[in-house]
Amino acid sequence: MDWTHDLQKAIRYIEAHLLDDITSNDIADEVHISPFYFQKGFKIMTGYSIAEYIRNRRLYLAALEAASGDEKIIDLAYKYGYDTPESFTKAYSRFHGISPLRTQSHTEKIKPFLPLKITISIQGGHDMDYVTENVKGFQIIGFEKEISYDTSYKDIPEFWDEFCKKYMKPMMDQKKPEGEIQQAIHDNGIGEYGICYDTSSKDGVFRYLIAGAYRGGTVPEGLTLYTFPDMEWVKFSCTGPLPGALQSVNTKIFHEWLPNNQDFEIAMDANIEWYSEGDTSSQDYKSEIWIPVKRK
């Protein structure tokens, strides 16, 4: 898997179809990467989701046309993929800090957004702390939510905050679990894993689970049970406070390990973050990132 080549190819494809109604799945198909890992890798390596990148490129080109004064706002809106002039003007003003109508007299306000150039460092890829392990199929149980790639960095922490406030804090204040859901959280260690996986046909979204290893028993309404098959996993060790330690290792996986490895390819649209017990803000806090793989 040559991430440098594939991402550059994806950007060329986007530029060639910038005014077409393309989806993340279309772009991933063009470079032969699963939509799940393509969107995840694109976001980590560029800082933008696919939708953000396309939107920003279109708004920049729209500004160049607005500056010429030759196009009506309604025509620019439809040309650059907006349903109404109002929605276009709102997005345009938020991006450039100026309305389309005022652009011609304030061209200095235009915010440039040029095609990205992808560079990847492959040095040190094999120095990362990881092990490979064949793991028998296992079930996990937890709270599931549909997450947008556009807002995942905000939505996932908010999901965890909601989980902790609603369930973990009350359970810490009680002597024993109360009700089926609290009992399931206690019995299955829900909160040990954060799991991303893609079972959705929707473009631009994935499923996220705050989960634990299922140990049997009742699955209360509101909880999801999911089964991973027998599979080989690469487990990357992280040491340090969250979320920084995990983010740093995640970035290295896509910048260094994936471009550098000659032995594996990704086997499934999923990845797992494992959290140890203890203070997540500690400098020696332990966590892991698991990637499902198969031998080339």
The enclosing domain of 234 has a CATH number of 3.20.80.10
CA distance 258 to 84: 42
d(CA 245, CA 129): 13
Contacts of 92 (CB under 8 A, 6+ apart): 59, 62, 63, 66, 99, 100
d(CA 271, CA 172): 29
pLDDT band (50, 70, 90) for residue 100: very high
Query: Which of 79, 109, 139 corresponds to the end of one domain?
Result: 109
121, pLDDT greater than 60:
no
Task: Look at residue 145 and tell me if it is in a domain.
Answer: yes
Could you tell me if 154 and 248 lie in one domain? yes
The answer to whether position 56 is within a domain reads yes
Q: Cα 186 to the chain's mean position, in Å? A: 28
Whichever domain contains 89, its CATH number is 1.10.10.60
Q: Residue 273: helix, strand or coil by DSSP?
A: strand
Tell me the pLDDT tens digit for each residue of 158-184: 999 999 999 999 998 887 889 999 999
Choosing from 76, 109, 142, the residue where a domain stops is: 109
In terms of residue numbers, what domain contains 71? 3-109
Asked if the structure places residue 227 within a domain, the reply is yes
132 and 219 part of one domain: yes
Name the nearest CA neighbour of 18 among 46, 70, 55.
55
Do 103 and 8 belong together in one domain? yes
**Within-domain flag for 114:** no
Position 199 scores a pLDDT of: 63
What is the structure's pLDDT at 124?
45
Contacts of 105 (CB under 8 A, 6+ apart): none
Residues 253, 235: contact at Cβ < 8 Å? no
If asked whether residues 270 and 143 sit together in one domain, one would say yes
Question: How many domains does one find in the chain?
Answer: 2
* This model's pTM is above 0.75: yes
